[in-house]
Structure 1
Amino acid sequence: MKKVEKVEKLYACSETSSSKQSISSTGTTASISTPQDESFKLDKHAERCLRTMEDYLYKQQLTDVILIAGQKRIPAHRLVLSANCEYFAAMFTNSLRETFQNEIELKEVDGDALWGIVRYFYTGIIDLLEDNVETLLATASLLQLSSIVEACCQFLIKQLHPSNCLGIRRFADIHGCTNLLHTANVYTNDHFMEVVKNQEYLLLTADDVAMLLQSDDLNVTSEESVFDALRRWLEHDPKIRQKESSRLLAYVKLPLLTPAFLTDYVENNEMFREQRSSQVLIMEALKYHLLPERRPMLQSNRTRPRKATVGQLLSIGGMDTLKGATTIDVFSLRTNTWRTLVNMSSKRSQFGAAVVEKKLVVAGGRDGLKTLNTVECFDFNAKTWGSLPPMTIHRHGLGVTVLEGPLYAVGGHDGWSFLNTVERWDPTTRQWTYISPMCSQRSTVGVAVLNDKLYAVGGRDNSSSLSTVECYDPHSNKWTSCAPMSRRRGGVAVAVMNGCLYALGGHDAPSSNPHASRFDCVERYDPKTDTWTTVASMSIARDAIGVTVLGDKLLAVGGYDGQQYLSLVEAYDPLLNEWHQVTPLNSGRAGPCVVIENSLTF
């Protein structure tokens, strides 16, 4: 008995001990392990439950509410509706009147769309079709189902077509779908020429046409296309729409039409002939052509070209961290983007470039320490490089421009000395000939054509940077001096806008001093008064800037600030006298040649 009691006590003690023990067959105690806690998970449990609920839905079992939309009655489960939709959750859990109603009417809701959404609550699947996507989106928007709204928007984006984009744009605007509205608007602008050929365009209201035509982002080849689009809309219902003709004509940039087009197709159009307001607009446009000297005072939104009609800006080569960029990058004002068009066929820096007869001509420059006289051209149509006869003199730091057809190579440095010589290439004879030399030797000179004369601005000679300016008349073959700039500017950038010369940046160091003081200041030259005035400064002091006019803005591209090659691109608005930054270059570069080409499509 004592032995048995001892064993029982030992067993009882082991039951309460934190380290559980057992008695072995020999009578001794041994440790045993307790299995760890486990959890069991049934695969796809939630899906099975929802599938069962869906089964109940179709059998109308355990349903506790009926949704009424139009003629459709949809039984459903409050719990499922609330779990999937905050709109229903607020309705059923906040002691609203609907909380206790067995039937709830949803006014102005499409019954089929609502039934599709209710089934989505049970299945997580909804069918998007061309026939139902708009009603689904409207219903989902009312029920605050953002995931379905976004899915519908993405579906509609894929369906965009010139025949339906205006309707989708209007639908997106009504329902506050910001991304869809933006995308449809961009698509409409991109495909404007095809959009206006479709019935949807002809059925627009006058206000919708006004909103469309006033956009500067229309992808059109010329302003004539915009006028033709307006004419097509007016002639679709002339008796009713003639009263809108003057108001809508104001959205066509008439001053940018040719005088012949204005006379033949606008002034003589019966839609505008009897409209006084239309005649005022036509006279404004004709004055713009008849009085070119007054154009700076006649600037308005109607004289500002649309982004697609200003051509493409080409940034060609230049100096970069690899000591010579070879790419030609293209900037589209309408898309506000850069892309690489092609690589140059050879490496060169401090060269000149211009567009002659729809070909890009690149002349002179340096390849390492070697100064070049070679000339090559890129055919925009064939997308191929070819060579032209070389210049008579090797030149780097030259200025290149086109005046009345021929191309001029101005000044520069031949590797030994600064040059005042100028030679001209005639595309007809394909020959280079000398013209009268400049009064001063000039390298890194800024050149531009204004009022049928060639201007050579600033640059460097053997001793210092220059502030002097001279002007060449091709008919007399003579150079004359003009008023000097307020500063000496080597490496200056020069362009023409609104009848004036603009000189940007540059440096004032003598040729032997590499530590130049660079400028952010800009000067404007008026040939009528032979005076320079200072305008708004750029954001960064720099030289070796590429500059051109794109539309109604002056663009300053790249440059060198003394420490780095810049990708910065700035645009100058002469009306506001302000600079603002635009999309930068893909990589920093100094001394890119910048030209405009109208035949490229982006």
Structure 2
Amino acid sequence: MDETYYDVNNNNCSFISQTATSPPPNTAIDNTFGESPCKRARFSNDSNDLHWLNSNVRLILSNDEEMIISRRILSNYSNYFKCLFSSQFNDSKLDFYRIRIVNSTDLHYLLTIPRAFENGIKPELSLQRAIQLIEPAAYLQIDIALDYLTDVICQQLNYNNIIRIFHLSLLYHTHLAFRVWQAILNQFQMLVNSNEYLNLNEDELIFLLTDKNLNIRSQDEKRIVENWRRHHNSLNSANLAKFSLMNFARKVMPDSTKYEVIRNRQPRNAIIAFGGWSSRGVAQKIEIFNTRCDRWQTCTFNYEIPTIKRAYHGNEIVDDKLIIFGGFGGNSHYQTTLLFDLKKKDWKWGKNMHDCRCYVSSVQFKDSQGSTSIFACGGMNGTNRLNTVERYDVEKDMWTECSSMAFHRSDGANTLIGGKVMSVGGFDGRNFHSNAELYDPNTNQWQMLGRGMRTRRTGCSAVTIMDQVCLVVGGFNGSKRLDSAEMYDLREGIWHPMPLMHCGRSNYGISVIDNHIIHVAGGFDGQATTKENERLDLRVRHWQALPDLNEPKSALRLLHLNDHSFLDDLFNIPDDFDLVNEW
């Protein structure tokens, strides 16, 4: 019989990979979500208890392997041993215990994981090894190891392994099962495209179809049910057949405008139309574009909000903050900053800019340290067109003046290209610009771009497509509102013409999704503010007309919000939708 002494002060441990075999009993399923056991462990001050915990215990493990370990370290890291040693049963005082489903290699590794984190070391672990260790970690209730193993597994999920790992996690660790289930909801479209979803059982598929967060295209819902039923025999799909019969297309819903669906679902991403100028002055409605059904809907911020009646303003979402700065309120030109925390759902005033700025353009920049700041360029202070630039540090809530541009620009466009801020187009009070400048945040210097756009543009907008490519759309050239667009490739130094929009417009909102879908909405078409909405798919180089905004507006800002909990508040789709779940 092999015998191993475990030294609690030894941090240098090497292991031989070994697979745990026997499944744990039901009591091995983890249901604890508390703080780290390293913090949670508490010991009595009684000298007898301290002496008892400081003693060693002999563990007889699988294959008759033995380890001699301190009771204190076992109690500190394992809820299983903590309960065993602290109970009032006679077994608590035994000198040895037999644990048949855990081998010495796995136990040695599991006890080393929390020790490594205590010493600032992150253990390296493969997906296969993490899966092997889940069973003994769950059986012994080593929480800090379970948390780490869960992270390792969830970081390496893909459509090939996600369903198998979900079924395994149901046996051992409910927190892992929950996280894998969330990943299945998020990645379900990939499971559909690869037909891996056919490995789900009937109840699992029904639960997925009833979940509002299921990431699935409306046009695929009915096909998924039909394919699953064809793949499985009629006995195994009877409930699914009844469920789909009673729930498909029972009533008119936004998601069912084109296809039969089970229910309305939460979009994974959305576009928010914020602020702007309408026929009645500053726009009051905040609208959100549902990317599942291609429809704008009015949303209400049910929170105590300071005045947000702004047009020609700057708007950015950084981390969990919606940041609004500058703009025009009908009578006043603003230099104020408003911050809305998307998680805490509260507003506060930020520090003022150095200048009042309406017709301002802005862009986000992330430095080498991962800190995000916002550049606000040009604009108008109520009297003069500006060439000044300010940088907003989001963490410090501080505006700092930067080097000024060579040209005064109001209603210009900003974007990020090649790690530098590009300011392009705009109006200086006399001239409409076609030129562009590049700003290097590391040197605080501007330089002119070698070649200007093909067309003079003010009231235009720009988006970054890739690090080296940007797109500038629409605007006003001094004579008419433009329906043209241009793409600039920094590697070539050339502006390329792009397909024409359906509607010439200036001072509209723009947003990009997935680096190839460009949405534009609203603006001024030369006659009036418009509510027309369209998008460009760069893969097919084609503009597609979409349903209109709910009200015409110009000088608005479009913000893209992706996979964020705040989408629940904006769409307000109930979890308990009127589904028929009984048959």
TM-score where L is the length of structure 1: 0.49
Aligned residue pairs total 318
Q: Which residue of 2 aligns with 1:362?
A: 324
**For the Cα contact (< 8 Å) 1:492–1:506, is it kept in 2?**
yes
What residue number does 1:508 align with?
477
Choose which of 494, 519, 529 in structure 1 pairs with 2:462: 494
Gaps of 5+ in 2: 1-160, 168-181, 202-214, 217-264, 367-371, 572-583
Single out whichever of 558-567 and 335-344 deviates more from structure 2: 335-344
* DSSP-derived class of the 2:312 partner: coil
- Alignment match, 1:590: 554
Please, which runs of 5 or more residues in structure 1 have no aligned partner? Answer: 1-195, 203-217, 238-250, 253-306, 510-515
Aligned partners of 2:460 and 2:507 also within 8 Å: yes
**Which residue of 1 is the match for residue 54 of structure 2?**
none
Calculate percent identity across the aligned residue pairs.
26
Instruction: Check whether the contact 1:448–1:496 (CA below 8 A) recurs between aligned residues.
Output: yes
* SS at structure 2 position matched to 1:479: strand
Partner of 2:173: none
Q: Are the structure 2 counterparts of residues 229 and 582 from structure 1 closer, same or farther at C-alpha, using a change threshold of 3 Å? A: closer
Distance 1:235 1:504, change over 3 A: closer
Structure with more contact order per residue of length (Cα contacts < 8 Å, sep ≥ 6): 2
Does residue 381 of structure 1 match 2:322?
Answer: no
Distance 1:223 1:431, change over 3 A: same
Superposed CA deviations along residues 73-99 of structure 1, whole A, max 9, x for unmatched, are: xxxxxxxxxxxxxxxxxxxxxxxxxxx
Q: Distance in 2 between matches of 1:401 and 1:493?
A: 11
Q: Distance in 1 between matches of 2:539 and 2:189?
A: 27
CA distance in 1, matches of 2:423, 2:184: 36
- Report the CA distance between 1:538 and its aligned residue: 0.5
Q: Which amino acid aligns with 1:548?
A: S
Partner of 1:521: 484
Deviations 1:122-143 (A, max 9, x none): xxxxxxxxxxxxxxxxxxxxxx
1:326 to 265, 279, 284: 284
The one-letter code of the counterpart of 1:389 is K
Q: How does 1:356-505 map to 2 (within 5 A)?
A: 356-404=318-366, 405-482=372-449, 483-498=451-466, 499-505=468-474
Please state which structure has a larger fraction of its residues in helix. 1
Matched to 1:396, the amino acid is C
The CA distance in 2 between the partners of 1:557 and 1:571, in whole Å, is: 9
Matched with 2:517 is 553
Q: CA deviation at 1:378?
A: 2.1
Please give the secondary structure, in 2, of the residue aligned with 1:559.
coil
Pairing 1:296-307 to 2, within 5 Å after superposition? none
1:477: how far off?
1.5
- How has the CA–CA distance of structure 1 residues 224 and 462 changed in structure 2, closer, same or farther, with 3 Å as cutoff? same
* Per-residue CA distance 1:431-486 (angstroms, 9 max, x = gap): 11111111111001111122322111101002121101111111121112112111
Q: CA deviation at 1:379?
A: 2.2
Query: Residue 263 of structure 1 aligns with which residue?
Result: none
Task: Sort the Cα spacing of 1:235 and 1:587 in 2 relative to 1 into closer, same or farther, 3 A.
Answer: closer
Work out whether residues 559 and 565 of structure 1, in 8 Å CA contact, stay in contact via their aligned partners in 2.
yes
Secondary structure at the aligned position of 2:355 is classed as coil
Letter in 2 for 1:338: W
Q: Is the 8 A contact 1:566 1:589 kept in 2?
A: yes
Does the aligned pair in 2 maintain the 1:358–1:597 contact within 8 Å? no
Answer yes or no: is 1:542 the counterpart of 2:483: no
CA 1:411–1:221 in structure 2 vs 1: closer, same or farther (change >3 Å)? farther
- Could you tell me how far 1:358 is from its partner in structure 2? 1.5
Q: CA deviation at 1:369?
A: 3.1
| Corresponding position: 1:572 with 2:536 | yes
CA positional deviation for 1:219: 11
Match of 2:308 among 333, 346, 353: 346
d(CA) in 2 for partners of 1:574 and 1:522? 12
Shift of 1:407: 1.2
**Native 8 Å contact 2:267 2:290 kept in 1:** no
Alpha-carbon distance between aligned partners in 2 of 1:222 and 1:438, rounded to the nearest angstrom: 44
Q: Which residue of structure 2 aligns with residue 206 of structure 1?
A: none
SS in structure 2 of the partner of residue 393 of structure 1: coil
Q: Which amino acid aligns with 2:543?
A: W
The residue type paired with residue 464 of structure 1 is N
Residues 521 and 232 (structure 1), Cα distance of their counterparts in 2 relative to 1, 3 Å cut: closer
Provide Cα deviations, 1:308-327, integer angstroms capped at 9, x if missing partner: 77621111111111111032
Deviations 1:382-431 (A, max 9, x none): 33332111111111101122101011111101111111111111122221
In structure 2, the residue matched to 1:335 is: 293
C-alpha spacing 1:418/1:232, structure 2 compared with 1 (3 Å)? same
TM superposition shift of 1:589: 0.7
Once the two structures are superposed, the pairs formed by residues 55-454 of structure 1 within 5 Å of their partners are 222-223=186-187, 226=190, 311-342=269-300, 345-404=307-366, 405-454=372-421
The amino acid that maps onto 2:405 is M
Report the AA paired with residue 469 of structure 2.
C
For 2:408, the aligned partner's letter is Q
Inter-CA distance 335–382: structure 2 relative to 1 (3 Å threshold): farther
